[in-house]
Chain A
Amino acid sequence: MAEQATVATTASGYPIPDELGRFEPLRTFMRRFFRVRLVRPAMFILVAFVLIAVFVDLFPIPGFQEQATDENGLYISWQSPNADHPFGTDKIGRDTFSRVLNATRIALAVGFGASLFGAVFGLPIGIAAGYARGAVDEVLMRVMDAVLAFPGLILALALVSVLGRDIINIIIAVGIANIPWVARIARSMALSVREQDYVLAGRTIGASNLRIMMRYVLPNSFQPVIVQVSLGAGFAIIAEAGLSFLGLGIRPPEPTWGGLVSEGRQVIITGDGWWLWVFPGACIALLVWSLNIIGDGLRDVLDPRLRGGLEGD
Chain B
Amino acid sequence: MSTYITVRVFQSVFVIILVAIASFAIFRILPGDATAALSGEGEAISVERRLQIEERLGLNKSVPEQMINWLGAIITSGDFGRSTLTNRSIGPELIQRLQNTLHVGVATMIVGMLIGIPAGVLSAIKPNSLIDRLVTTLSVGGVAIPDYLTGLILILLLVVTWDVLPAAGFVRIWVDPVASIRSLVMPTLVVGWVLSAIVARQTRSSMLEVMRQDYVRTARAKGLRERRVIALHALRNGLLPVVTIVGLLLARVFAGAVIVEQIFNIPGMGRWLVQAALQRDLLIVQAMILVIAIAIVIANLLTDISYGMLDPRIRYG
What is the number of residues of chain A that contact chain B, defined by CB distance less than 8 Å? 49
B15 and A142 form a contact (CB under 8 A):
yes
Majority SS of interface residues in chain B? helix
What distance in Å separates the Cβ of B50 from its nearest Cβ neighbour in chain A? 20
Residues of chain A lying within 8 A (CB to CB) of residue B22: 146-147, 150
Could you tell me if A284 and B155 are in contact, using CB atoms closer than 8 angstroms? no
The answer, yes or no, to whether A152 is at the interface (CB within 8 Å) is yes
Whether B258 sits at the interface, judged by CB under 8 Å, is yes
- Closest Cβ–Cβ distance, residue B139 to chain A (whole Å): 8
Smallest beta-carbon distance B7→chain A, Å: 10
- Residues of the B chain whose Cβ atoms lie less than 8 Å from the Cβ of A284: 146, 149
Measured CB to CB, the closest approach of chain B to A308, in angstroms, equals: 10
B51 contacts partner chain A, Cβ-Cβ < 8 Å: no
A265 interfacial by beta-carbon distance below 8 Å: yes
Q: Which residues of A contact B252 (CB under 8 A)?
A: 151, 312-313
Docked complex Cα distance between A238 and B26 (Å): 23
Q: In angstroms, how far is the closest chain A Cβ from the Cβ of B87?
A: 19
Which of B140, B152, B274, B282 contacts A265, CB < 8 Å? Answer: B152
Do A311 and B143 have beta carbons less than 8 Å apart? yes
Please measure, in the bound complex, the distance between the C-alpha atom of A265 and the C-alpha atom of B140, giving whole angstroms: 25
B179-208 vs A, CB cutoff 8 Å, 1 = contact: the mask equals: 000000000000000110110010000000
**A146 touching B15 by the CB < 8 A rule?**
yes
- Against B, the Cβ 8 Å flags (1 = close, 0 = not) of A138-181 are 00001101110111111101111111100000000000000000
Contact call A289/B141, Cβ cutoff below 8 A: yes
Q: Is there an interface contact between B278 and A247, defined as CB atoms closer than 8 Å?
A: yes
Q: Do B259 and A293 touch across chains, with their CB atoms under 8 A apart?
A: no
Which of chain B's residues has its CB closest to A161's CB?
Answer: B277
Point out the residues of chain B lying under 8 angstroms from A163, CB to CB: 31
Contacts of A262 in B (CB 8 A): 148
Q: Does A54 contact B (CB under 8 A)?
A: no
Contacts of A293 in B (CB 8 A): 140
A288 partner residues in chain B, CB cutoff 8 A: 144-146
Q: What are the residues of chain B within 8 A of A245 when measuring CB–CB? A: 148, 259
* B160 x A155 contact (CB < 8 A): no
Interface residues of B in 235-281 (CB under 8 A from A): 248, 251-252, 254-255, 258-259, 262-263, 273-274, 276-278, 280
Interface pair A265/B149, CB less than 8 Å apart: no
Chain B residues positioned under 8 Å from A155 (CB to CB): 289
* B195 neighbours in A (Cβ, 8 Å): 312
Contact status of A151 and B251, CB under 8 A, knowing A162-B27, A242-B259: yes
Identify which of B59-67, B211-219, B290-298 touches chain A. Answer: B290-298
Of chain A, the residue at the smallest CB distance from B205 is A307
A152-B255 in contact given A268-B156, A268-B160, A289-B140 (Cβ < 8 Å): yes
Which residues on the A side are within 8 Å of B147 (C-beta)?
A: 242
Contact between A157 and B31, CB atoms less than 8 A apart: no
CA distance A258 to B263 in the complex (A): 13
CA distance A312 to B138 in the complex (A): 12
A238 to chain B: closest residue by CB: B146
Closest 9 CB pairs of A and B: A151-B255, A146-B18, A289-B144, A161-B277, A312-B198, A149-B293, A281-B149, A288-B144, A271-B160
Residues in A lying within 8 Å of B, measured CB to CB = 142-143, 145-147, 149-155, 157-164, 234, 238, 241-242, 245-248, 258, 261-262, 264-265, 268-269, 271, 274, 277, 281, 284-285, 288-289, 292-293, 296, 311-313
Interfacial residues, chain B to chain A (CB-CB below 8 A)? 11, 14-15, 18-19, 22, 26-27, 29-31, 140-149, 152, 155-156, 159-161, 167, 194-195, 197-198, 201, 248, 251-252, 254-255, 258-259, 262-263, 273-274, 276-278, 280, 282, 285-286, 289, 292-294, 296-297, 300
- A-B contacts, 15 listed (Cβ < 8 Å): A150-B296, A154-B273, A154-B292, A161-B277, A162-B27, A164-B31, A245-B259, A248-B278, A265-B148, A268-B160, A271-B161, A288-B145, A312-B143, A312-B252, A313-B255
11 other A-B residue contacts (CB within 8 Å) besides A142-B15, A242-B147, A296-B140: A143-B18, A149-B15, A151-B251, A151-B296, A154-B258, A163-B31, A281-B152, A312-B194, A313-B248, A313-B252, A313-B255
